[in-house]
């Protein structure tokens, strides 16, 4: 049986994003993994109890997913509400699901305060970007799960083929 991959539900077209839309990734690798039964889908933010649609949120300037997990940064939505608890809960749900299905890999939507793995928004809700990882990516990596962004899907496919 092939290695399984935790995948951000929005990349599979599920309408779970903050704006109520999906972000379907059209890629033959993803289609093949689905056919092979490798894909475990989850939206950590909805799993953490957030509604859809919801106010867009960002990790505070200077913080990242690891700092949120360590309690030294918060996740704030655009209205100024502190939504840290739901984001941490969602990350814990994602880890639990990955462990249940023995996923050693994850393909996560980039730039999200949850799923981002290489890039985050600034934290000022100004559309600017910075290097960094979100809460889910940080927690999965701490537990040894290898996290890939959509533009790294070919690398992940090579890992799966060699697994
Ligand atoms: Fe997609 Fe992750 Fe955001 Fe859910 S939390 S909408 S899966 S990027």
* pLDDT tens digits, 122-146: 999 999 999 999 999 999 999 999 9
In ligand 1, the atom with minimum distance to the C-alpha of 45 is: 5
Ligand 1 lined by 44 (C-beta under 6 Å) = yes
More confident residue, 45 or 1: 45
This prediction's pTM: 0.98
Ligand 1 lined by 16 (C-beta under 6 Å) = yes
2, pLDDT greater than 90: no
Ligand 1 lined by 10 (C-beta under 6 Å) = yes
In ligand 1, the atom with minimum distance to the C-alpha of 90 is: 5
User: Span 149-162, mean pLDDT?
Assistant: 97
Write the pLDDT tens digit of every residue in 78-87.
Answer: 999 999 999 9
In ligand 1, the atom with minimum distance to the C-alpha of 46 is: 4
What are the residues whose beta carbons fall under 8 Å from the beta carbon of 122, sequence distance 6 or more? Answer: 58, 61, 128, 129, 130
| Residue from 114, 119, 140 to probe ligand 1 pocket by mutation (most atoms less than 8 Å from CB) | 114
pLDDT for the residue 113: 98
Ligand 1 lined by 109 (C-beta under 6 Å) = yes
pLDDT for the residue 49: 97
Write the pLDDT tens digit of every residue in 23-74.
Answer: 999 999 999 999 999 999 999 999 999 999 999 999 999 999 999 999 999 9
CA distance 11 to 24: 4
Query: To the nearest whole percent, how much of the chain has pLDDT over 90?
Result: 98
Is the ipTM above a cut-off of 0.95? Answer: yes
CA distance 162 to 151: 19
CA distance 18 to 12: 15
What does each C-alpha distance from 83 to 17, 44, 78, 79 come to in angstroms? 16, 13, 10, 10
Q: SS3 of 120, please?
A: strand
Q: Is 39 exposed, middle or buried (0-12, 13-18, 19+ CB in 10 A)?
A: buried
Nearest CA to ligand 1 atom 2: 115
User: Span 72-77, mean pLDDT?
Assistant: 98
Nearest CA to ligand 1 atom 1: 10
pLDDT for the residue 74: 98
Domain ranges of the chain: 5-162
Ligand 1 lined by 115 (C-beta under 6 Å) = yes
pLDDT for the residue 59: 98
């Amino acid at each position: 049986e092939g290695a399984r991959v935790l995948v951000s539900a929005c990349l599979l077209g599920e309408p779970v994003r903050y704006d109520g839309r999906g972000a379907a990734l059209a890629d033959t690798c993803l289609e093949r993994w689905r056919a092979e039964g490798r894909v475990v889908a989850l939206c950590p933010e909805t799993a953490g109890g957030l509604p859809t649609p919801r106010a867009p949120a960002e990790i505070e300037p200077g913080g990242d997913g690891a700092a949120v997990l360590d309690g030294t940064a918060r996740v704030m939505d655009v209205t100024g509400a502190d939504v840290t608890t739901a984001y941490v809960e969602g990350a814990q749900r994602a880890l639990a699901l990955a462990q249940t299905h023995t996923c050693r890999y994850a393909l996560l939507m980039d730039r999200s305060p949850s799923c981002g793995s290489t890039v985050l928004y600034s934290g000022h809700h100004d559309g600017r970007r910075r290097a960094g990882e979100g809460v889910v990516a940080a927690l999965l990596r701490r537990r040894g799960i290898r996290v890939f962004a959509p533009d790294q899907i070919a690398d992940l496919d090579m890992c799966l083929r060699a697994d």
